[in-house]
Amino acid sequence: MQTRLAAVIFGACLVVAAPGTAPASNAPASWRTLPPTPTLPSPLRSGRAAVRGVSLYYAQFGAGRPVVLLHGGLGNSDYWGHLVPALVAAGFGVTVIDSRGHGRSTRSAEPFGYRTMADDVLAVLDELGLQRVDLVGWSDGGIIGLDLAMRHPERLRRMVLYGVNSDPSGVYPGVETKPVFAAYIGRAAQEYGRLSPTPGEFDGFVTQIQAMWASEPRYTRAQLARIPTPSLVCDGLHEEAIRVTHTRYLAKAIPGARLLLLAGASHFGMLQTPTKFNRAVVEFLNVP
């Protein structure tokens, strides 16, 4: 996703209700809030995969048909804390991966790129013996999913994409200054300091990932039209980062893709409307 983080005002003001607190009558709409980052349940297994000079963190939950969850840019796997229990309860075996440089994973001097990060995912799946998976990708995680679906469709069964762009024109200019997104960036910096093996290097990490966002992704309609993976293209009705016209374009460009726009949600639907988000994911993945 293309954006300029240097201009962000990290102190963006948001009202977030404390856990267990009933919303007041004048509470802001859910899409205007950034609820707390959830906590992942205790994994059955976690570890690190050594891939081209980086150490990639993964964790696994439950048992059943495998699904991999890929988080958004600047984030980490904790953002799936509401979805993981729902998928486990529905009989899936869930794997989460922190992308290179994100969360608990390390980075190297190698430039960031969606193909590189897609190859990272393949390496982790190979190490875990997962030959074919369902994939749920949010934002950058969904772009990684697009890359996998174009180059390695045999590894994917079904795919859910949330808040995804296939080229820079799909991103609203100035998204980094919008209150919810600005608050997310500030939170990401704090989480990086808490989770990363290099907690003092957030600025260097951002510099590397901005270089990727400045030129990627650039997938053509012809490339998207060759994706054979059954796909659900979804986003929030109040998305502040991805143009809704672009989301509709993706749903039309990917053969047979379904389109879903979640009411009450923006780019952070998994936090803002978790029940609706989880239900949509589980129902789509459960289609025979």
Q: Compute and round to an integer the Cα radius of gyration of the chain.
A: 17
Tell me, yes or no, whether 95 lies in a domain: yes
pLDDT at site 26: 75
How far apart are alpha carbons 216 and 89 in whole angstroms? 36
d(CA 24, CA 285): 35
**Cβ–Cβ < 8 Å for 100, 107:** yes
Would residue 68 count as lying in a domain?
A: yes
Residue 200 Cα distances to 1, 59, 75, 76, 232, angstroms: 23, 24, 16, 17, 38
Neighbour count for residue 258 (Cβ, 10 Å): 15
Structure tokens at 141: 């995680």
Q: Are 142 and 162 in contact (CB under 8 A)?
A: yes
Cβ atoms of 234 and 155 within 8 Å: the answer is no
Give the separation between CA 177 and CA 179, rounded to whole angstroms.
Answer: 6
Residue 22 lies in a domain: no
In a domain? residue 252:
yes
Give the total number of structural domains in the chain: 1
pLDDT in tens, 106-158: 999 999 999 999 999 999 999 999 999 999 999 999 999 999 999 999 999 99
Q: Is residue 27 part of a domain?
A: no
Indicate whether 182 belongs to any domain. Answer: yes
Q: What is the pLDDT of residue 237?
A: 97
- The overall longest dimension of the chain from CA atoms, in Å, is 52
* Intervals of the chain under pLDDT 50: 2-23
Domain that holds residue 130: 44-285
pLDDT of residue 25: 57
Tell me the DSSP string of 167-190.
SGGGBPTTGGGSHHHHHHHHHHHH
Question: Which residues are CB-contacts of 137 (< 8 A; sequence separation ≥ 6)?
Answer: 69, 70, 143, 144, 145, 159, 160, 161, 162, 164
Question: How is residue 38 written in tokens?
Answer: 């959830």
Residue 145: inside a domain:
yes
Confirm whether 5 is domain-assigned.
no
Q: Supply the pLDDT for residue 17.
A: 37
Q: How many other C-beta atoms are found inside a 10 Å radius of the C-beta of residue 4?
A: 14
CATH number at residue 245: 3.40.50.1820
